[in-house]
Structure 1
């Protein structure tokens, strides 16, 4: 990794601007999506009754772990961040935060995250959160990002770890269901990220980062997005009974979202050069995962089960009445 263009004199700032710079290092817009996948796993694991303190601690620990990983990423990628127009104003390449100070900040975030989860949740959840940081930095950022067009496919495992953390925080172990949630997010990540990569293909090409649109072109990227979407949508049906713990409410939400996801991926496949379609798919992919996880939470609530049972019983009674009437 080079350090070209990173030796910019630090600007004079007030305390508020300094705090804003450190917050920007953590890429805060990314974190809410990670947290909602954590929360969904916790609600399912607890059958809709999450202990408030455990929820708060786990989400805070997850936030700090993600913030640590993103800060480390900013340190490592400061050279290409300076060369890309989109990222040149980030705190490190712009000179507002020095790399050594950012490193101390990242380490502190990681340590606090580990301690919080290990003390107030359990050791397994803490170790999983640290594994997420390690995979993001070593596997994705260091090994794959600048060397392979499959970088986001394999490196996407880091973004799929939060539901494992959430499940482990509640149960202290990992069964098949959290790994299914892991797999769903893992397969969802390429369509999500490659649609963004299609929008900023020229930026990646300028700094020789071999994202799929740069290496294989827009048509092949759109085809890969379509294929991954074809896989992930059916996968979202696996948590539904009789195989999984979720029921009709989640099934309805997942069905509608899946149909829309497939529609948007198909449109992009037909017009892979259309950046507006890529932008639309990227934005929808975020909404898709957030609403899918919300559906999991709502379906896991005891009141949802009670309402579902009441509706089913009412329909059964109606059917019996109709059968007697026409009998």
Structure 2
């Protein structure tokens, strides 16, 4: 198994290596963009082997001292360390940490805007005066790969260079990773993609309530090498009473607000069974976050728009 790359429409690139799927896009001087893409590709080709070499440690709960050596693995640990009072492994930040590693290749003169989309977890580079829009998709259960044409999003928001956000990540029980909660999606804005990834995991886990309509199984019965071991993870959620959904969202909002006040995140969007809650930045006017006038019941699937 070797890393592969292919050119996409609009000057984008698709990088793939085993479970890692990256879409990279950049704008600016054509030569500098080409050089940055090449640097990103060369770095990407080494990422999976680097992570596999430390995989046993990456699947262990985060403790007081970091035992990891590679830069991506250490970034994963550092993003999860603030949450080590509860069970969390560095794998909670793997997608964001990889995206963050690759975006560094684009942080160079001549690159106006760039983003690395790793399965919906996004790292951005924005030169002064630049901005990017991120598309929001509320519920992956509605996503159909057979549909042709542009993806219809539930909403969008804009990120501007002056705001202290360079990472966007989404977590929820319908995603490709396991969740302890029942959120359809939780999208987090943070200073880095790794920090957004870890925080989205934690907040999504907090969106929960006791109800017989929520079905869970031990993680290692769903995937035998899961880093969560025998911890029960959500495998199905029946239609819940609206009041139950409200309670679950309230629990998630409380966790998100705590993180926001601590400066760990800039904002978050929480979605569960047609209901949504927005945790806005402490100062929306100065942060640069602007929700666009679309249906706000949304969470990022990871599409970035110019």
Q: Which has the larger helix fraction? A: 1
More strand by share: 2
Q: Shared topology, TM-score over 0.5? A: no
User: What TM bracket, shorter-length normalisation?
Assistant: 0.3 to 0.5
Which has more radius of gyration?
A: 1
TM-score, with normalisation over the residues of structure 1?
0.35
